[in-house]
Structure 1
């Protein structure tokens, strides 16, 4: 299958036949955005076709972008990831990203995660965790984070819970800053 036939197949599946197929074939950046923005009828078949694009690196990047966007915006990422995992399995990087997003979503939601999974996670995932988590996970990353950058992120002060005016004792007079 040549690239124009490939693009026509993707367009039919995604319901996007109005694009200039020659322009998409000539410009992988344009094709990347086209893949990323598509809303296909069948996500699994769509991802399979995208990964069949002759420009392998661009195709993997487009699927990665879809995974990242879905993880950031979906309440039900785990079930979506379970459905698309067989398509992504041949590309280790994509399989690992699905697993790491599952880990991140669970950790951010306060669900228990395995220490081994946190320590085996990529630098990208450990940085995301170190910037957000608290408690035992933060201590784990502070002591055993893979990189100096991850360990340094654990020392960044976390924002304090906002204090409501009703929680403070009312004083007489203005509140003055203390520079001690």
Structure 2
């Protein structure tokens, strides 16, 4: 026996999917307005999750593109009152700095979130042996330290050209 009230999907699940679809197809000129609109949803955690999902997709696309900086500034304005999203944007900017061999500090890496450290130690985005060595030695979790160490070992085993 099923209860029709329990079988129905919660309304926020439908809104979440719609937000993801809308964000996926949004024109750059309308992106900040849509992010602001999504963040007005009464279910704050769901709205932030949708925007964060969008950030992960969009930031990864733009990471080494010169357009990243303007995009990140535009998004930072749109999410200025959301500390989690603001931090995530700054961590994407840090990933970009490392990927492009721009300035960063050891403190930037060691104080970054677990998400950042995992992403930096496992993704092919970070090719800085200095950053990976730091994460291998001082990463917050064993998983991060092991992943960074493994990445460094793979590089050491690759033939030099």
Into which bin does the TM-score normalised by the smaller protein fall?
0.7 to 0.9
Question: 1:46–1:142: structure 2 CA closer, same or farther, 3 Å change rule?
Answer: same
> Hey, which of these two has a bigger chunk of helix by percent?
2
2:144 paired residue among 134, 137, 150:
150
The residue that corresponds to 1:54 in the other structure is: 42
The residue that corresponds to 1:34 in the other structure is: 18
- Structure 2 length-normalised TM: 0.77
Deviation at 1:70, TM superposition (A): 0.7
Mark the runs of 5 or more structure 2 residues left unpaired by the alignment: 1-9
Deviation at 1:27, TM superposition (A): 2.6
Confirm or deny that 1:107 pairs with 2:101.
no
2:53 paired residue among 65, 68, 73:
65
The residue that corresponds to 1:135 in the other structure is: 129
Query: Is the CA contact (8 Å cut-off) linking 2:101 and 2:128 kept in structure 1?
Result: no
For residue 94 of structure 1, give the secondary structure of its aligned residue in structure 2: helix
Task: Give RMSD over aligned pairs.
Answer: 2.2
- Structure 1 length-normalised TM: 0.69
Confirm or deny that 1:45 pairs with 2:27.
no
Query: Is the CA contact (8 Å cut-off) linking 1:64 and 1:94 kept in structure 2?
Result: yes
Give me the whole-angstrom Cα distance separating, in 2, the residues matched to 1:116 and 1:137: 11
Question: 1:34–1:122: structure 2 CA closer, same or farther, 3 Å change rule?
Answer: same
Query: Is the CA contact (8 Å cut-off) linking 1:71 and 1:77 kept in structure 2?
Result: yes
Q: Work out which of the two has the higher radius of gyration on C-alpha atoms and give 1 or 2.
A: 1
Q: Considering Cα pairs closer than 8 Å and 6+ residues apart, tell me whether 1 or 2 has the greater RCO.
A: 2
Offset from partner CA, 1:63-98 (integer Å, 9 cap, x none) = 111111111112222210101212212111100000
Give me the whole-angstrom Cα distance separating, in 1, the residues matched to 2:69 and 2:114: 22
Offset from partner CA, 1:6-31 (integer Å, 9 cap, x none) = xxxxxxxxxxxxxxxxxxxx632222
Deviation at 1:161, TM superposition (A): 4.2
Mark the runs of 5 or more structure 1 residues left unpaired by the alignment: 1-25, 168-180
Moved more, 54-63 or 33-42: 33-42
Give me the whole-angstrom Cα distance separating, in 2, the residues matched to 1:100 and 1:142: 18
